Amino acid sequence: MQELLTKADKEKKLIGSGLIPQMMDKLTALSYDDLVAEMPEFVSKLGTVLEKRLPEIEEVDTEKGTAFILKYLPQLMEKVLSSDAEVKNELAATEDMTFNLKLGNIAEMAVQIRDGTVSFSPGLAQERDFFIDISTEKLLQVLSGKDNVLSGFMGGSIEMWREGDEGDMEKAQSLLPLLAVVLEKLKLDRMM
C-alpha cells in the first residue's frame, strides 16, 4: 500500500492512472485485522495525496465517482459488520432511517439502515429522513487528519439542514453512536 501511495503522490495526473483502484482492491482484500491495522495510516496518507489534487478531484464526474465509491464501500462495511460484534450490535440498535450523503462533487448516494442492515444506492433518495452534505475540501481535510467531522458540523462545511429543509434531527443524532463505533474500531476516531 505504501508503495502505491508514494507512486500516487508523484503521479502527474492521478485520476485515470489506475493507482486508486489498485489501492482499494488491496484494501478490500485484507482480512479484518489487517484492515484495522492499515486504515489509520492509509486513510491519512490517501487524504493528503488527494488534498494536494483538489482541482483534479473536483472534476470527477459525480456518477463515476459514486460508482467507484459504491464498488468498495459496501465491501468494507460488510467486512466490519461480519467481523465485529460490537459494530453489528450498534447497527441493530440504530433507528431505521434513510439519508442522502453528498460528498462534494465526487459522489451522491442514499444510505438506508433497516432492521440491523445497511445498504447504499447511487443517487439521492426522494424520501429521506435527513441529508449530509460535505464539501470536497472538508472531506479531504478529514481524511488527511487535518480536520474532523465535528468542526465541519459547527463550521458549516458539513450541512445537515437548510432553511425549510431541516429533516429529522432525532434520526440524524441516532446515527452518531454507530458512526463513532465504526470509526473507533477502524482506529479512525480522530475523524470525529
The set of cell numbers assigned to 112 is 438506508
pLDDT digits (tens, 9 = 90+) for 51-96: 999 999 989 999 999 999 999 999 999 999 999 999 999 999 999 9
Region 33-46: mean pLDDT is 95
| Residues in Cβ contact with 127 at an 8 Å cutoff, skipping those fewer than 6 apart | 98
Q: Where are the beta strands (DSSP E) in 80-181?
A: 97-103, 107-114, 117-122, 130-134, 158-159
- Per-residue confidence band for 129, with pLDDT thresholds at 50, 70 and 90: very high
The CB density around residue 109, as the number of other CB atoms within 10 Å, is 22
Q: For each of the domains in the chain, give its residue range(s) and CATH number, in order of start.
A: 2-191 (3.30.1050.10)
Query: What is the reported pLDDT for 152?
Result: 78
pLDDT digits (tens, 9 = 90+) for 160-189: 876 677 678 888 888 989 999 999 999 999
Query: What is the reported pLDDT for 20?
Result: 95
The set of cell numbers assigned to 21 is 483502484
pTM of the model: 0.91
Residue pair 188/40 in contact (Cβ under 8 Å)? The answer is yes
**CA–CA gap between residue 52 and residue 76 (Å, rounded):** 25
pLDDT over 70 percentage in the chain? 98
Mean residue pLDDT of the chain comes to 92
Query: What is the reported pLDDT for 167?
Result: 78
- Per-residue confidence band for 157, with pLDDT thresholds at 50, 70 and 90: confident
